A = this chain, B = another copy of it.
Amino acid sequence: MNLLIVEPGEMTRSGDVMLTDGRSAHLRTVLKVALGQTVRVGLLDGPFGVGVVTAVGDDGVGLRCSFEPAAPPLPRVDLMLALPRPKVLRRLWAQVAALGVGRIILTNAARVERNYFDTHVLTPACYRPLLLEGLQQARDTRLPAVSVHRQFRRLIEDELDGLSDATLRLVAHPTAAAAAAVLARERPDGRILLAVGPEGGWNDYELTLLQHHGFTRVGMGARTLRTDTACIALLSLVHDAGEVG
């Protein structure tokens, strides 16, 4: 945990919070905080700040928090992902949040198995703590918005424009020649929507529909990667292209 995230509803108006969950255990057993010590904090979906330890005891750790005036910018990437196997998705939540995405759009596709939608991994009770874990690892406060879409065509035709304001839309496709990083570098200011298909890939109908809605196909060289590896790899490439220019 490299940043301790506090939620607005947990705090008094003066910025006092009493932590009693895993965060308090982390402060006491890993950071071994003492009264008066300061720790880095972040307000969920808000600014970074500092917390002064006001209490340490068996019933929790108290902090008085103060924050910078402005929140960090939204990550420049939104991720549209064909729903992967629950086991894979469970591993991805924290990693995707750590890499930084504004929104996670989970969608059906021809090669997505229907029963993937019936998993508790798609419930906020499961994924919200994992997203928070990723934010606290990467020192970000921006909780990705999550939406789940069972109808691919309706998502692309009717809903997508309202979900993501990205001006560059990229779809990962193993045989595509264009490189994601090159396209991302050409558009240093805009936000990017990155679509990653199911194991087995998008089918022709899906690729055509995506193309008709502004998606450019991008590849990753000669190698075909598993969905989860491809997600991490492409998010890294797109973020890096934004940072190194």
Contacts and interface: CB of A to CB of B under 8 A. Distances in A.
Q: How many copies does the complex hold?
A: 2
A154 interface: no
A101 to B, nearest CB: 12
A244 B240 CA distance: 14
Chain A interface secondary structure, helix, strand, loop or mixed?
helix
B223 A99 contact: yes
Nearest to A225: B98
A233 B181 contact: no
Interface string A193-223: 0000000000000000000000000001111
Interface residues of A, number: 33
Nearest to A241: B181
Contact of A98 (B98, B182, B223, B244): B223
Interface stretch (A10-18, A121-129, A135-143): A135-143
A25 interface: no
A2 B174 CA distance: 11
A179 to B, nearest CB: 4
Contacts of A243: 179, 221
A132 B91 CA distance: 22
A233 B238 CA distance: 11
Give the one of A91, A99, A179 with max B CB within 10 A: A99
Contacts of A2: 224
22 contacts: A2-B224, A94-B226, A95-B226, A95-B229, A98-B223, A98-B225, A99-B225, A99-B233, A100-B223, A137-B224, A137-B225, A139-B222, A139-B224, A179-B240, A179-B243, A181-B240, A221-B243, A229-B232, A232-B233, A233-B233, A234-B236, A237-B237
